[in-house]
A and B are shown apart, each in its own frame.
Chain A
Amino acid sequence: MRNDAAGLLLPAARPGTCLADVAPGWLSVAHDALRCPDTAADRAAQPPLSGVIGERSFEAHPSVRADGTVVWWLVDDTDHRLVREALHMERERTAFLAKVSSMLLSSLNLGRCMDVTAQMAADNLADAALVIAPAQGPQLPVVTCLRGGHPVLSHESVDPDDVPGLGEALRGFPPVPSRWIDPAAAPEWMVPEGFGPIGSIVVTPLPGHGVPAGALVLLRRSQTAAFTEGEEVFARLFAARAGAAMSAARLYAEQASITEILMRELLPPSLHQISGVDFAGGYRPSMDHDRVGGDFYDVHPAVVDGEASLVALGDVCGKGLEAAVLTGKIRNTLHALLPLADDHQRMISLLNTALLNSHHTRFATLVLASAVRKGNAVDLRLTSAGHPRPLILRASGAVEEARTHGTLVGALPNVPTHTAALTLAPGESCVLYTDGITEAKGGPMGGTQFGDERLQRALSECAGMPSESIVERIQMLASQWVGDGSHDDMAVVVISAPRTRHLSAVNGHTRGRFTA
């Protein structure tokens, strides 16, 4: 039996014909299965059967009649299905764009952003993708990726204006649309090795935020379908995200390199032995994301051999970059005053004059130390300008405060100081530090200051240690004392008279004797 609609749909199906001969396979197979009672029960639980007849798609609903014959109700769901497919594709694209965003947002490195862009484009939009960044210098950075492959960076010495649309895309202005180019006209460098004949090729600008971000080139092989309008729109959405990430990465890289250059001048130097005197220093800024702060130190070797090296360690009022800039000024001024290094008071007075300012009282405290090797010992002259006194660690483990005092610089018209002179025997050390160490708050019970006493006690356990170990020990104890709490900048410099080789050779083979 058939009704009129069925007659239109399956004109061959006349009463008495076998269903398998006139209906598509999916329907006749289902029909046979239904007539077999064992599987009939299972069918009810399954989703409605569907399939294609001609150019349209149908859902098929069977109803088994008492006599064992089956009536098939066929419902045309072609439009419904198209909408569902479109929805599915949109969801996939949205998920893809979300993934693109999170991949691209996670890095501020231009190279990595280019890699991610090329790889995701190749895997989702084309058979191969090229990401081209605006040239820095004579060469064009190009990242190429084949579908399923790894991105590869190369530098091409080519003129982007030779490729239609590429020059404009790389300049970022004026805005240009995606540009189809003749596959035959594509330059050799644009075609990945072993790619084969190109079917279609499109150059899409990567829009930056006020700065050119680059261009995306998508290639499809001849046998692959060309880009549909929907795909082009989608590629543009992708390009917008990639361009934003790449321009942010470029801006970050520029800023980071500026910071790096400026910062280099402000970073504390690394210290080592000079003319038979050991120097070691360590610095921890108050904020973990900073590398500079308001503490500073320098060691200037003597110009003439046999004269003293000059050490300066200090602390300017304030925190962070602003304080660091002031330390830069002080370090430069002291450097210029090096010819007067013999006369601490004069250096400090001149520094004070240079820093005095009628608008503010931002001051600095510092210690100057002149150190020179005399035989096996080191002669020291120490002058504090309003700074905590240097500590002297004797071979016995005794800790002394150097008897120097004076006034801070940069706030008052006169800065009288008093210099202490002393001698370090081999293995003895002088410790210069900033109050970030002693005023560090923390400890096992919390809220307690590290304090002078604890510092001196810790130092007395360091007798005989090399200068860099003393620095490390003090930094470690103070940092552990603070724990995860906040702290001020902390700087330590240790000046040591090296233990003599002779001593090591005599005592060296007995464990522990060297501290005696």
Chain B
Amino acid sequence: MTMMPSARLRLTTVDTEATVRIELRGDLDYDNADRLLAAVTGQLAGRPRLEHLHLHCAGLGTVDSMGLSVLLMIHRRTGEAGVRLHLDDRTARLDRLLTITGTLEHLTASPNGAASSPAGAGESPKNSAEARAARPTGPDGTT
């Protein structure tokens, strides 16, 4: 059980010439996800020599669909600017969200294509293992 009262998003930025690191604390959601996008857009515009953007995610609370949308937008913008996006210290919840939505690989793949996290997209969470054992499902079909 998570006991997570909705918290305002706080952004802490640490930078060098080629690397920007933004520490995220609080919820990345409908009410404040735009602030992260604005911060990142500002960094991209102001630093032509930027190579790496690190979003430090350990302090993230709830990430809702707007939050995920902003992460996808940041990925698109960094890609266009030739900057590599790193989602560092992801929480289990964030990984779960990225897994369910099928975006983990896209957001975390290194340029050679391999996912930086071993979490395989689409594996069943273990809590249904018992239920499956109770009765076999039908054959899986791939389209």
Contact = CB atoms under 8 A, between A and B. Distances in A.
A447 B143 contact: no
Contacts of B76: 361
B106 A412 contact: yes
A448 B1 contact: yes
Contacts of A254: none
B64 to A, nearest CB: 7
B69 interface: yes
Contacts of A417: 102, 143
Nearest to B132: A400
Contacts of B106: 407, 412
B128 A399 contact: yes
B117 to A, nearest CB: 16
Interface string A93-118: 00000000000000000000000000
A385 B139 contact: no
A449 B1 contact: yes
Contact of A396 (B3, B124, B134): B134
A420 B102 contact: no
Candidate in A344, A361, A421, A441 with the most chain B CB atoms within 10 angstroms: A361
Interface residues of B, number: 38
A396 B66 contact: no
B42 interface: no
Interface string A269-287: 0000000000000000000
A396 B135 contact: yes
Contacts of B41: none
Interface residues of A, number: 56
Interface string B99-143: 011110010000000000000011011011001101101111111
Contacts of B65: 294, 315-318, 363, 365
Interface in B24-46: 30
Interface centre among B4, B64, B65, B100 (most CB of A within 10 A): B65
B140 A394 contact: no
A488 B3 CA distance: 18
A406 to B, nearest CB: 5
Given A400-B134, A420-B140, 11 more contacts: A317-B65, A381-B141, A394-B131, A398-B135, A408-B102, A411-B72, A418-B142, A419-B141, A422-B138, A452-B125, A453-B127
15 contacts: A318-B65, A361-B76, A399-B128, A399-B131, A400-B134, A401-B125, A407-B102, A418-B142, A419-B143, A421-B140, A421-B141, A439-B64, A448-B1, A456-B131, A488-B64
Interface of B: 1-5, 30, 62, 64-66, 68-70, 72-73, 76, 100-103, 106, 121-122, 124-125, 127-128, 131-132, 134-135, 137-143
Interface of A: 294, 315-319, 343-346, 360-363, 365, 381, 383, 385-389, 392, 394, 396, 398-403, 405-408, 411-412, 415-423, 439, 441, 447-449, 451-453, 456, 488
Give 7 nearest A-B pairs by CB, closest first. Answer: A407-B102, A405-B122, A422-B138, A317-B65, A386-B101, A361-B72, A398-B134
